[in-house]
Amino acid sequence: MAAIADQLREHLNAAETQQLVAAANRPGAASRGIQLAFQPFAATLGFRDESKGLFASYESAVRPDYYLPLGETGILLEVERGKTVRNNMDYLDFWKCHICETAHYLFLVVPQKLQHNDGMRPVNEYATVCRRLKTFFVPRNYTNVRGLFVFGY
């Protein structure tokens, strides 16, 4: 997992990717623009776009942004933007990984700073997500998510 995370991190930090992300990360923009900035690279790592059927045993239409099967487990890759903390999408993404029978690792891509409109002071989404989700990695709160990698853009 760590080797794949390192490759993704390096790609996200590349100047070209940073430019694409900066252009897509404007007030009012959707997370899809952020996804498109690195989706071709994620595909080279083996991630499949919006894999269907991962949650077939549940009466739910839930699906991840991307999924990478790895032997008897896999990685869910989720990209968030405007609703990361305000609508608890970080928790929803973690929950999806928890109930997924074929993935036990979550790669979560979130804004470092989020600004919904030009008059708003940016808020530190990345730090908030890290603080909130680390609570699942203390003994009394364990889930079947074996690893979480949070990437800030």
Question: In the chain, what percentage of residues exceed pLDDT 70?
Answer: 97
By mean pLDDT, which of 19-28, 63-72, 142-151 is the weakest?
Answer: 19-28
Q: What pLDDT score was predicted for residue 64?
A: 94
User: If you ran DSSP here, which 8-state letter would residue 103 be given?
Assistant: -
Closest C-alpha among 32, 30, 19, 28 to residue 115: 28
Q: For residue 97, give both structure tokens.
A: 């990984």
pTM of the full predicted structure? 0.91
* pLDDT tens profile 83-118: 888 899 999 999 999 999 999 999 999 988 776 667
Tokens, residue 37:
């900035």
Q: Dig out the tokens for 124 from the structure.
A: 């530190």
